[in-house]
Amino acid sequence: MPSEEQHLSPSLNHQHVMKGIDPKLAYSGGDCAAWRRRLRRRVRAVLGDTPAKRVPLNPRTLWKRDLPLGSVEKIIFTSEPYADVPAYFCLPNKSSGPFPVMICLQGHSTGMHLSIGVDREDETKPFPVQGDRDFALGCMARGFAALCIEQRSFGERRELLQERRSKDMCHEAVVQALLLGRTLVGERVYDVDRGLDYLESRPEVDMRRVGCMGNSGGATVTIYASALLPRICFAMPSCGFATYAGSILSVSHCADNYLPGMLKYADMGDVLGLFAPRPVVVVAGRDDDIFPLPAVREAFEQLERIYKAAGAEGHCHLVVGNGGHRFYAEDAWPVLLGEVARLA
Interface positions with Zn ion (CB under 5 A): 170, 254, 256
d(CA 113, CA 110): 8
Q: How far is the CB of 10 from Zn ion (least distance, A)?
A: 21
Quick one: which of 248, 263, 254, 267 has its CA closest to 17?
263
Tell me, what amino acid is at 57? Answer: L
91 by Cβ neighbours in 10 Å (0-12 / 13-18 / 19+) ranks as buried
CB contact set of 5 (below 8 Å; sequence gap of 6+): none
Nearer to Zn ion, 104 or 170 (CB): 170
Nearer to Zn ion, 191 or 256 (CB): 256
Nearer to Zn ion, 92 or 218 (CB): 218
Q: How far is the CB of 191 from Zn ion (least distance, A)?
A: 14
How many CB atoms within 10 Å of residue 244? 23
278 by Cβ neighbours in 10 Å (0-12 / 13-18 / 19+) ranks as buried
Q: How far is the CB of 210 from Zn ion (least distance, A)?
A: 25
Q: Which helix (H) or strand (E) holds 280?
A: strand 280-285
d(CA 130, CA 328): 11
Nearer to Zn ion, 168 or 331 (CB): 168
Nearer to Zn ion, 195 or 217 (CB): 217
310 by Cβ neighbours in 10 Å (0-12 / 13-18 / 19+) ranks as buried
Q: How far is the CB of 290 from Zn ion (least distance, A)?
A: 12
Q: How far is the CB of 250 from Zn ion (least distance, A)?
A: 18
Nearer to Zn ion, 229 or 254 (CB): 254
Helical residues (DSSP H) of 155-257, grouped into ranges: 171-179, 184-200, 217-228
Crossing angle of helices 217-228 and 184-200, rounded to 10°:
70
Nearer to Zn ion, 131 or 273 (CB): 131
Q: How far is the CB of 185 from Zn ion (least distance, A)?
A: 9
Q: How far is the CB of 332 from Zn ion (least distance, A)?
A: 23
